[in-house]
Amino acid sequence: MNIHIIQHETYEAPGAYLNWATERNYNVSFSKVYQNDKLPDDIDFIDLLIVMGGPQSPNTTLEEFPHFDALAEIALIQKCITAKKAVVGVCLGSQLIGEAYGSKFNHSPEKEIGVFPISLTEEGIKDEKINHFGSVLNVGHWHNDMPGLTKESKVLAVSEGCPVQIVSYSNLVYGFQCHMELTTEVVALLIESETDLLAKSKQYQFVQNPETILAYDYSEMNTKLFQFLDKLIEAYKN
């Protein structure tokens, strides 16, 4: 399997996504756009495209972030969807997938940073790729926005602070507003990048303090993510 990861910032690291691919001896390539890596022109080598998060939004301009070309990434996602590749978007990546389907992202009702439960919807419980998550699962969050929806898309999970946490756009295309890839190492990078997180934890209902976030054991959500990715690869093969 050939896994290609688009990474927007050093601190928005692939974490458990990379651990999963490495454990299975899959080939992993990157477009680290913060290092001015180019996006791939040829997608024939890609089996699974993973688009990571970032501080940007789909409407962020090149003037604001010269290394982030939203339109180019949306076009690449569209090419992969058309070619029947597997595609997973995380946070910003999930919003870009929605845009690739012609649906605009939205602001989430609440800012969420830390570990909070998501609940599977009826569609989520029916979805064989994620129903092993159980009805409720604690997962990572680090966002202000959420992906747009199409008529065909299905919301598979929600949280108290955000009504669109996991979306299936097709059998092979999934958007995760939540961050199940978080590890202690990735969390440390995110905390370092965040301005006044301690103050925000006192201001916002769904923002935890750095000490609480660092102390969490992320292994269960990582394991559940691995199972989802294994199921997605099987669906792609078939």
Average the pLDDT over 83-103 and give the result: 98
* Other Cβ atoms within 10 Å of 121 Cβ, number: 18
Average the pLDDT over 129-144 and give the result: 97
- Fold exhibited by the domain 2-237: Rossmann fold (3.40.50)
Average the pLDDT over 59-78 and give the result: 97
pTM for the full model? 0.97
DSSP 8-state symbol, 133: G
- Rounded to the nearest integer, the mean pLDDT of the chain is 97
Find the angle CA(156)-CA(30)-CA(82) to the nearest 5 degrees: 55
Q: What are the domain boundaries of the chain?
A: 2-237
CA distances to 70, 92, 147, 172, 238 from 99, rounded to whole Å, are 10, 11, 8, 16, 27
Structure tokens at 84: 């029947």
